[in-house]
Structure 1
Amino acid sequence: MTADEGVYAWSAVLMGSPILLKLFDNNATLAAQVFRVIRHQENILTVNRAHSEVMAINHAAGKAAVSVSRDVFDLIQCAHQVSLLPDSLFNFTIGPLVKRWKIGFQGHSVPPPQELAQLIALTDPHQVELDPARLSVFLRQPGMEIDLGAIAKGYIADVVRGFLRHQKVERALINLGGNVQTLGAPPESAGWAVGLKKPFSQRDELIGVMEVVGKSVVTSGIYERYFELDGRCYHHILDARSGYPLDNELLSVTVIADRSLDGDIYTTLLYGLGVERSLLALRDLPHIEAIFVTRDDEIICSSSRQFSFRLLDDRYRLITDSTA
Structure 2
Amino acid sequence: MAGPILRGLALLSLVMAMAVVLAGCQREPQSYRLEGPIYGTGFHITFYGDYDDAQLAQIEDSVKAALQQVDQLMSTYKPDSELSRFNRTPVGEPFTLSPETAAVIREAIRIGKLSHGAFDVTVGNAVNLWGFGPDKHPDRVPDDAQIAQALKSVDYRALELDGNTLTKTKPVYVDLSGIAKGYGVDQAARALEAAGVERYLVEVGGEIRTHGDKPGGEPWRIAVEKPISYERSVQRIIELDAAAVATSGDYRNYFEDDGERYSHTIDPRTGRPIKHHLVSVTVIAPDCMTADALATAIDVLGPEAGMQMAQREKLAVYLVVKTADGFETRASDAFQAYLADADEETQS
AA partner of residue 311 (structure 1): E
Q: 2:100 aligns with which of 65, 71, 81?
A: 71
Aligned residue for 1:150, secondary structure, equals: coil
Which residue is equivalent to 1:21? 45
AA partner of residue 273 (structure 2): P
Query: Structure 1 residues 301-310 or 238-247, which shifts more?
Result: 301-310
Q: State how 1:311-322 maps to structure 2 within 5 Å.
A: 311-315=344-348
CA distance in 2, matches of 1:203, 1:8: 29
Aligned residue for 2:42, secondary structure, equals: strand
AA partner of residue 294 (structure 1): V
Query: Structure 1 residues 177-186 or 161-170, which shifts more?
Result: 161-170
CA distance in 2, matches of 1:107, 1:6: 48
Which residue is equivalent to 1:57? 86
Find out whether 1:10 has 2:43 as its counterpart.
no
Which residue is equivalent to 2:64? 35
Q: 1:244 aligns with which of 260, 272, 289?
A: 272
Q: State how 1:1-324 maps to structure 2 within 5 Å.
A: 6-25=30-49, 27-62=56-91, 64-85=93-114, 87-103=116-132, 105=136, 107-132=138-163, 135-142=164-171, 144-202=172-230, 204-286=232-314, 288-296=315-323, 297-302=327-332, 303-306=335-338, 308-315=341-348
Q: CA deviation at 1:175?
A: 0.4
Query: Structure 1 residues 186-195 or 252-261, which shifts more?
Result: 186-195
CA distance in 2, matches of 1:301, 1:17: 28
CA distance in 1, matches of 2:147, 2:347: 41
Conservation of the 8 A alpha-carbon contact between 1:181 and 1:214: yes
CA distance in 1, matches of 2:63, 2:243: 19
Q: Which runs of 5+ in 2 are unaligned?
A: 1-28
Distance 1:293 1:126, change over 3 A: same
CA distance in 2, matches of 1:56, 1:148: 14
Conservation of the 8 A alpha-carbon contact between 1:197 and 1:203: no
Conservation of the 8 A alpha-carbon contact between 2:186 and 2:289: yes
Stretches (4+) displaced over 4 A: 104-107
Conservation of the 8 A alpha-carbon contact between 2:229 and 2:252: no
CA distance in 2, matches of 1:12, 1:106: 28
Aligned residue for 2:80, secondary structure, equals: coil
CA distance in 2, matches of 1:10, 1:216: 19
Q: CA deviation at 1:106?
A: 5.5
Conservation of the 8 A alpha-carbon contact between 2:160 and 2:166: yes
Report sequence identity in percent: 26
Conservation of the 8 A alpha-carbon contact between 1:97 and 1:116: yes
CA distance in 1, matches of 2:94, 2:322: 44
Aligned residue for 2:318, secondary structure, equals: strand
Q: TM-score, normalised by structure 2?
A: 0.81
RMSD, aligned CA? 2.2
Conservation of the 8 A alpha-carbon contact between 2:126 and 2:151: yes
Conservation of the 8 A alpha-carbon contact between 2:95 and 2:167: yes
Q: CA deviation at 1:277?
A: 3.5
Query: Structure 1 residues 158-167 or 220-229, which shifts more?
Result: 158-167
CA distance in 2, matches of 1:64, 1:200: 46
- How many residue pairs match? The answer is 307
Could you list the per-position Cα deviations for residues 278-321 of structure 1 after superposition, in whole angstroms to 9, with x for gaps in the alignment?
Answer: 334333444x3111011120121223224544322342xxxxxx
Conservation of the 8 A alpha-carbon contact between 1:56 and 1:66: no
CA distance in 2, matches of 1:208, 1:80: 31
- Greater helix proportion: 2
Conservation of the 8 A alpha-carbon contact between 1:58 and 1:139: no
Q: CA deviation at 1:249?
A: 2.0
Q: TM-score, normalised by structure 1?
A: 0.87
Q: CA deviation at 1:65?
A: 2.4
Distance 1:103 1:310, change over 3 A: farther
Aligned residue for 2:146, secondary structure, equals: helix
CA distance in 2, matches of 1:150, 1:50: 19
Aligned residue for 1:219, secondary structure, equals: strand
AA partner of residue 166 (structure 1): A
Could you list the per-position Cα deviations for residues 164-220 of structure 1 after superposition, in whole angstroms to 9, with x for gaps in the alignment?
Answer: 222221111110101111111211254112111122335632222222111111001
Distance 1:314 1:199, change over 3 A: closer
Could you list the per-position Cα deviations for residues 130-185 of structure 1 after superposition, in whole angstroms to 9, with x for gaps in the alignment?
Answer: 333xx32222334x211111110111211222222222211111101011111112
Q: CA deviation at 1:244?
A: 0.6
